[in-house]
Amino acid sequence: MVIESFVFANTPKVVFGAGTFGKLDDIISQYGEKVLIVTGGSSLRATGQYEELCDRLRKRSMQVFDVAVKGEPSPALIDEAVERHRHKQIDAVLAIGGGSVLDAGKAISAMLLQDDSVMAYLEGVGKGKKHTGTKVPFIAVPTTSGTGSEATKNAVLSQIGEKGFKKSLRHDRFVPDIAVLDPMLTISCPPDVTAASGLDAFTQLLGAYVSVQASPMTDAVALSGLHYIKECLIPVCTTEADNVNARAGMAYASLMSGIALANAGLGIVHGLASPVGGYFDIPHGVVCGTLVGEAVKMNIGLLRQEGVGENPYLKKYAKVGAMVAGTDENDVERCCEQLIAAVEEWIKVLKIPRLGKYGISKHDLDKIAEAAGNKNNPVQLEKEQIMQLLLNRL
């Protein structure tokens, strides 16, 4: 078997396991005396863990500054946070939260040593300015299991509205220096957020696995994560929300999804997530969770038209279908149907909302489809097919 040439990106140093949150003061103190902590609105503070961490840091004679992020980060939020802290000689940025918080922390660490707005560097909407990659050391601590931002080089920023966008600030050096994954932090995550985040991780793992840029390395990473999605997704969202082992499985799957997407790219669901999330105030995980079933069904249907025989992407879908159903993967047709049925069942059991709940109507589909991209989808969808995919989840 011939292995095609590929490149595998840097990954952060990973500190994984229950209780690793308690090591943060040791980790941060190696960088210096001033730390900027980026958190979400209130959940971490409500647990008392934020103040406990700050107390431990102050006992080490460290100065602590903070930024709170509500919702998905905007360029304005990044600029404001950077302006407040640019001259404080921050030694490290620590982000503790969901994907939005990690993206915000990543962007802040990248911009603290720059003199202009983050807008100048955003892909597709900025001035096309190239970032040097110089940043303040960055530690990522996810409290949800979904985006994999703790392992990627891009920070997604949003501006929501009629002319809205979701675009990336990206550089190879923006990969976090250290990712600390403590599954205990995810136990308090609400069921709906856990579900949407988990389906985001699944979408990323599957999208990377069937990507036209996949390699044997990304396949191994993606399949490893998909195994834990199959075992842990439904339990952590229903009867075993406080099961640390199941939470650890989802944290691991999310990490693998970030590594896989960083190296193989993603498919049509994430090609739609950018315009949908830019035009409408809808959580990224919900976009992925509500569209992934229809995307899988449409991709498989179109690939079948090319012939079932030796189609490598159908075989990959079948392999995942066999994993999910616990059956023999040799029957490609049957296993593909099992995958479609399993994903549809997950979406139903997890009560993932439809797009219409967020104000999206038939009149918006043309605009969304026009701005969408196939990315590394295994089959190129036409605009009409993309509109149909969206229509099926209104």
Burial of 347 (0-12, 13-18, 19+ CB in 10 A): buried
Look over the chain and give the mean of its residue pLDDT values, rounded to a whole number: 95
Residue identified by tokens 């982000």 is 95
CA torsion sign, 257 to 262 to 263 to 268?
Answer: positive
C-alpha R_g of the chain: 20
Q: Say yes or no to pLDDT of 330 above 80.
A: yes
Q: Which range, 3-7, 157-161, 255-259, 325-329, is most confident?
A: 255-259
Residue 190 neighbours by CB distance under 10 Å: 12
Condensed to tens digits (0 to 9), the pLDDT of residues 32-69 reads 999 999 999 777 888 889 999 999 999 999 999 999 99
Q: Say yes or no to pLDDT of 247 above 80.
A: yes
The pLDDT value recorded for residue 265 is 97
Range of the domain at 301: 191-391
Q: Which tokens in the block code for residue 40? A: 């979400």
259 and 143 in one domain?
no
User: Among residues 374, 276, 288, which one has the least CA distance to residue 383?
Assistant: 374
The pLDDT value recorded for residue 2 is 85
Average pLDDT value for residue range 130-152: 97
The pLDDT value recorded for residue 375 is 97
The pLDDT value recorded for residue 18 is 97
127 and 207 in one domain?
no
CATH code of the domain in which 173 resides: 3.40.50.1970
Average pLDDT value for residue range 355-370: 97
Whether 125 is in a domain gets the answer yes
378 and 259 in one domain?
yes
181 and 201 in one domain?
no
The pLDDT value recorded for residue 318 is 96
> Contact 318/261 with Cβ under 8 angstroms?
no
The more confidently predicted of residues 244 and 308 is 244
Query: How many domains is the chain partitioned into structurally?
Result: 2
333 and 252 in one domain?
yes
Whether 21 is in a domain gets the answer yes
Condensed to tens digits (0 to 9), the pLDDT of residues 180-220 reads 999 999 999 999 999 999 999 999 999 999 999 999 999 99
Label residue 308 by pLDDT band (50, 70, 90).
low
Label residue 309 by pLDDT band (50, 70, 90).
low
CATH code of the domain in which 326 resides: 1.20.1090.10
Cross-strand pairs, 34 = 63
